Amino acid sequence: MSAKSENLFMVSLKDAAAGGAVALALFGVLIGMKAEVASGLGGQLGIEYRWAAVAIAVAIVFGGRLLLNLFVWKTDKPVTATAKGFLPSAKPLAKLGKYAMPVFLILAVVLPFLLMSAYGSRGSRQYLDLAILVTTYVMLGWGLNIVVGLAGLLDLGYVAFYAVGAYSYALLAQYFGFSFWICLPLAGILAAFWGIILGFPVLRLRGDYLAIVTLAFGEIIRVVLLNWYDFTGGPDGISGIPRPSFFGIEFERGPGGFADTFGLEYNSIHRIIFLYYLILIMALVTNFVTMRLRKLPVGRAWEALREDEIACRSLGINTTHTKLTAFALGAMFGGFAGSFFATRQGFISPESFTFIESAVILAIVVLGGLGSQIGVVIAAVVMIGGFEFFRGLEEYRMLVFGLLMVVIMVWKPRGLISTRMPSITLSGKKAKGISADLVQEGHG
């Protein structure tokens, strides 16, 4: 035993020393030398040496690697295995999924009233804004879930459709003076249309290629919006986007406004509450449609496509059309969310539609568990809510966030809610969920 542990120590030490050497070589130049423009008139370039910082970095690598070797990688009883025991097991979480939906729904419906009574109309505004933001991401997550979770097509450019929706609304309103309620369906249709146009060439590709090309298309749309100055206003964006009305009744002070019509005292929070319910309803419609489609032939074909595309073709399923419907439908919901975004902000610019948005939405879907509707909700609340919650930490926010992601991925690599529920059962009873290890993730 002692000989073995001695051996373990020596091996670990050697490995850590090697790691330290690599770190020294890398950090020696990366951290150790800093090019500096000398202040003063000459503006000469000089090098500042920071050997202390290098020493610290190398020591961290050496020490960290040694500890990891000793306690995790090389030993028979890694501490992570013990630590895993402390994390809640996955089973209760799956059960939670069953009850979470109604609980979340009720909570979501009464939320504005809860906030109003707790913080008053002034204090609750910031929380309502956050709730709107979270719900928007829930809707986007649900939309993308159709494409990534059900059909298994890795789309890294989902934000493109969000942008198309937002700009459709803004431009239609600007050029034709259409109201929100006319623009909303039009924006969805236009986004779906773009989904089909992009889908045709893109969906021949599979896996990584599909991911890269969708990413590129997402960027192309943003760059076009940025450079087509005459039409979209380029980097200046579009401002003065009309606010939504309560089916024709504007949220304004004075006679004819919302408050006046319903005999309330005017308060700017009314509009926020209305926006909240608007996005909540839009998100719920997205959810309802997705859940229904999953039980229809087209939804089953999506999932079958994710499982095995060749088998699908041998059964007479037109895989191109099936992929396109998933792409177009996902795009349509993205478009709806986009036009909501535009009306909420009143101002949009290409800045809001960068790749990071796609990444966040995808992260929500993946963390929640591919194909799981409730998982998306939990992930959106945790991620978007967490972003705001940790705002005080400033630049460490991303660090905390990254750490959280790593923990979740280690603990539940297939996302929070990863069991798949069968879409139909022979017995008529609710069937047991299918464990995630059996379900394919799809290859595009």
**Positions in the binding site for another protein (CB under 8 A):** 289, 292-293, 296-298, 300-301, 303-304, 307-308, 310-319, 325, 420, 422-427, 431-432, 434-435, 438-440
Measured over the CA atoms of residue 350, residue 184, residue 104 and residue 369, the dihedral's sign is negative
- Token pair 């792409």 is at which residue? 327
Nearer to another protein, 19 or 375 (CB): 375
CB of 285 to another protein, least distance (A): 11
Tokens of 191: 């986004």
CB of 108 to another protein, least distance (A): 23
Nearest Cα to Cα of residue 77 among 1, 140, 153, 178: 1
Nearer to another protein, 227 or 435 (CB): 435
Which residue blocks in 346-396 are alpha helix, DSSP H? 355-368, 373-389
Nearer to another protein, 78 or 433 (CB): 433
Is residue 394 within 8 Å of residue 356, measured between CB atoms?
no
Nearer to another protein, 168 or 290 (CB): 290
Compute the CA torsion angle 242, 133, 140, 179 (nearest 10 deg): -10
CB of 293 to another protein, least distance (A): 6
| 139 Cβ contact partners less than 8 Å away, ≥ 6 residues apart | 279, 282, 283, 286, 333, 336, 337, 340
CB of 303 to another protein, least distance (A): 6
Compute the CA torsion angle 256, 261, 264, 269 (nearest 10 deg): -60
Nearer to another protein, 154 or 348 (CB): 154
Nearest Cα to Cα of residue 371 among 287, 297, 281: 287
Nearer to another protein, 152 or 257 (CB): 152
CB of 182 to another protein, least distance (A): 22
Nearer to another protein, 129 or 307 (CB): 307
CB of 319 to another protein, least distance (A): 7
Question: Of how many residues is the chain composed?
Answer: 444
CB of 148 to another protein, least distance (A): 15
Is residue 264 within 8 Å of residue 246, measured between CB atoms?
no
Angstrom distance (rounded) from CA 119 to CA 408: 33
CB of 165 to another protein, least distance (A): 21
Nearer to another protein, 47 or 426 (CB): 426
Compute the CA torsion angle 218, 219, 222, 224 (nearest 10 deg): -110
Is residue 202 within 8 Å of residue 210, measured between CB atoms?
yes
- Token pair 């009850």 is at which residue? 99
Nearer to another protein, 174 or 423 (CB): 423
363 exposure class (CB count in 10 Å sphere: 0-12, 13-18, 19+): middle
CB of 145 to another protein, least distance (A): 16
Is residue 164 within 8 Å of residue 191, measured between CB atoms?
yes
Tokens of 396: 């460490």
CB of 415 to another protein, least distance (A): 14
- Token pair 């608007």 is at which residue? 278
Nearer to another protein, 3 or 426 (CB): 426
Q: How many CA atoms lie within 13 A of 272 on its CB side?
A: 22
